[in-house]
Structure 1
Amino acid sequence: MEIRIASQLSTLGHPQRLAIFRMLMRRMPDKVPAGEISAALDIKPSTLSAYLSNLLDAGLLGQTRVGTSLRYTVNVGEVQEMLDFLLLDCCRGRPDMCSPLAAGFGQGTGDMSLKKFNVLFICTGNSARSIFAETLLRDMGGERFAVFSAGTKPYSELNPMAVDVLRQKGHDVSALRAKNVQEFMTPDAPNFDFVFTVCDQAANEECPAWSGQPISAHWGMVDPVKAAGSDAERSLAFQTAYGALRNRITAFTALPMTALDRISLQKAVDDIGHLNEETAP
């Protein structure tokens, strides 16, 4: 085992291999095509192929063929073994080093039945998908959640068709505005319990680690803003995105937050990201 762990650490010691690994962790549990990794990280395909081979040989990634495309994902079991070895063997399970990773969700926050969870949804433009998610959770979650959304683009504005869909569904849109994620990286910003990316591009981008160790997950879906065709076809794309996010928010609000440990809760929110997107407009 020690030889394998040493090989894994050596493999991750290269900046670009580490960047690939970190991007795929952000996209968990997606299986990401090599071409998308190449474009997102600006790595030449031939160079990327060598790096992916190194990561596969080290056991850190898994590979799946979908048609003619090879797709990659993090090998969670191997990564867990590597971390266990570092924390429990090398570091002898010191509580000052291990407890933040092993702690149950919300540990030390007092009466969890009274806790209000801070949730942030991120997409590229903060114009449609993340706005849908913010509005849905705010309206469906009652007093249990403080909800925010943001985009990674420097400037954005709400998409008119997205706002129309929310109005049609009976949501109050008066307080909605497009925001940049930098607003939530200041010292006085909320400490988030959950951070979700709802588009692949935002998940591919490198962001600083959030303070407070929030649970994060990727709930990627097709961007309705990019839908082509007639007004009716474009409207259907927005209705479909709204319905898919409503399904996910419904499942999220039903989770027994106080009864789940951090690992179980992480798996639950990962699974929600793969709920069937089929929905009635």
Structure 2
Amino acid sequence: MEKAISDILTTLGHPQRIALFRLLMRRYPDRVPAGELAMTLDIKPSTMSTYLSALQRAGLVTQERVGTSLLYAIEMTTVQRMFDYLFVDCCRNRPDLCLSLSPGTAPMSDKKYTVLFICTGNSARSIFAETLLRDLAGDRFTVYSAGTRPQSELNPFAVQVLKDKGHDTSALRAKNVAEFSGPEAPDLDFVFTVCNQAANEECPAWEGQPISGHWGMEDPVKVTGTDAEKSLAFQQAYGALKRRIEAFTALPVDSLDRIALQSAVDDIGRTGTETTA
């Protein structure tokens, strides 16, 4: 075990390999094309292939071929084994050494939880998620959304879909994630990224160690064609997020420990996005 962990830590000791590992951790449970990884980290494809091979040999990453593409994902079993060794074996379960590193496994308390949905523009997908969760379970969750690079206004197709579904859009606005950091920011219990680009971006760790999830999906704003074709893309995005939000609100949050809750959040992120509401 010690040699295996030593090999893993040696592999992660390279600055670009650790950057690749962190990116794949942020994208978990996604399977990400090698080209996207190379472009996001500004690494030559040949060099990226070398780094991915090293992470595979260490057991940290899996590879799957889909058509002509090679897709990569974190091998969470190995990662968990590494953390167990570092925090349980090396720290000997001493709370004074490890508690600040690990939030523990106790169930979350019975309270009203605060949720933040993030995408790049905060004009469609994160706005859908914010509105859906607030309207479906506003008594249990305080909900916000924000963008890493928000636009000046909400997308009109997104607003129209929400109005057609009977949602009140009067209070919605595009916001920047900067509003949710600093001493005046709300304490967050859950943070979800709903687009791959936002998940790819390097962001500081959130205060309070909220449970995080990546529910990536295609951006309807990028769809071209007729207004009917664009509207359909927004309808599909709304439907996909509605299914995920419904699954999230069905979770017994108060009775699940953090590990079980994180696993459930990841499972929701694996659900398909192909049908409409």
Category of TM-score, reference length = shorter chain: over 0.9
Q: Is 1:261 paired with 2:262? A: no
Between the aligned partners of 2:72 and 2:196, the Cα distance in structure 1 is 14
Between the aligned partners of 2:165 and 2:43, the Cα distance in structure 1 is 43
Q: Is 1:121 paired with 2:117? A: yes
Contact 2:120 2:150 in 1 (8 A): no
Between the aligned partners of 1:243 and 1:127, the Cα distance in structure 2 is 16
Contact 1:155 1:180 in 2 (8 A): no
Q: C-alpha deviations, 1:244-267, integer Å up to 9, x for none?
A: 111111110010001111111111
TM-score normalised according to structure 2 size: 0.96
Q: Is 1:93 paired with 2:109? A: no
Distance change >3 Å, CA 69–CA 278, structure 1 → 2: closer
- For residue 132 of structure 1, the aligned residue among 123, 128, 131 is 128
Q: Point out the more displaced range, 181-190 or 130-139.
A: 181-190
State the Cα distance separating 1:99 from its structure 2 match.
Answer: 3.5
Aligned to 2:227: 231
State the Cα distance separating 1:54 from its structure 2 match.
Answer: 1.2
Q: C-alpha deviations, 1:16-50, integer Å up to 9, x for none?
A: 11110011001111111100000111111111111
Q: Please state whether the residue corresponding to 1:216 is helix, strand or coil.
A: strand
Contact 2:192 2:213 in 1 (8 A): yes
Distance change >3 Å, CA 280–CA 85, structure 1 → 2: closer
Contact 1:196 1:216 in 2 (8 A): yes
Aligned to 1:202: 198
**Which residues of 2 match residues 34-73 of structure 1 at below 5 A?**
34-73=34-73
Aligned to 1:184: 180
Contact 1:125 1:157 in 2 (8 A): no
Q: Please state whether the residue corresponding to 2:99 is helix, strand or coil.
A: helix
Distance change >3 Å, CA 106–CA 150, structure 1 → 2: farther
Count of residues in correspondence between the two structures: 276
Counterpart of 2:144, as a letter, is: F
Q: C-alpha deviations, 1:108-141, integer Å up to 9, x for none?
A: xxxx33x010100000100000000000000101
Aligned to 1:13: 13
Q: C-alpha deviations, 1:184-203, integer Å up to 9, x for none?
A: 11221111111000001101
Counterpart of 2:266, as a letter, is: D
Distance change >3 Å, CA 25–CA 144, structure 1 → 2: same
State the Cα distance separating 1:105 from its structure 2 match.
Answer: 5.4
Between the aligned partners of 1:223 and 1:278, the Cα distance in structure 2 is 13
Aligned to 2:31: 31
Q: Please state whether the residue corresponding to 1:96 is helix, strand or coil.
A: helix
Counterpart of 1:66, as a letter, is: V
Contact 1:126 1:156 in 2 (8 A): no
Q: Percent identity?
A: 67
State the Cα distance separating 1:156 from its structure 2 match.
Answer: 3.9
Structure 2, unaligned runs of 5 or more: none
State the Cα distance separating 1:280 from its structure 2 match.
Answer: 3.7
Q: C-alpha deviations, 1:216-251, integer Å up to 9, x for none?
A: 111011111011111111101001101111111111
Aligned to 2:105: 104
Between the aligned partners of 1:15 and 1:154, the Cα distance in structure 2 is 30
Counterpart of 2:25, as a letter, is: M
Aligned to 1:250: 246
Counterpart of 1:232, as a letter, is: A
Counterpart of 2:190, as a letter, is: F
Q: Please state whether the residue corresponding to 1:279 is helix, strand or coil.
A: coil
Contact 2:11 2:17 in 1 (8 A): yes
State the Cα distance separating 1:57 from its structure 2 match.
Answer: 1.2
Aligned to 1:80: 80
State the Cα distance separating 1:106 from its structure 2 match.
Answer: 5.4
Between the aligned partners of 1:40 and 1:278, the Cα distance in structure 2 is 26
- For residue 141 of structure 2, the aligned residue among 138, 145, 149 is 145
Contact 2:107 2:255 in 1 (8 A): no
Structure 1, unaligned runs of 5 or more: none
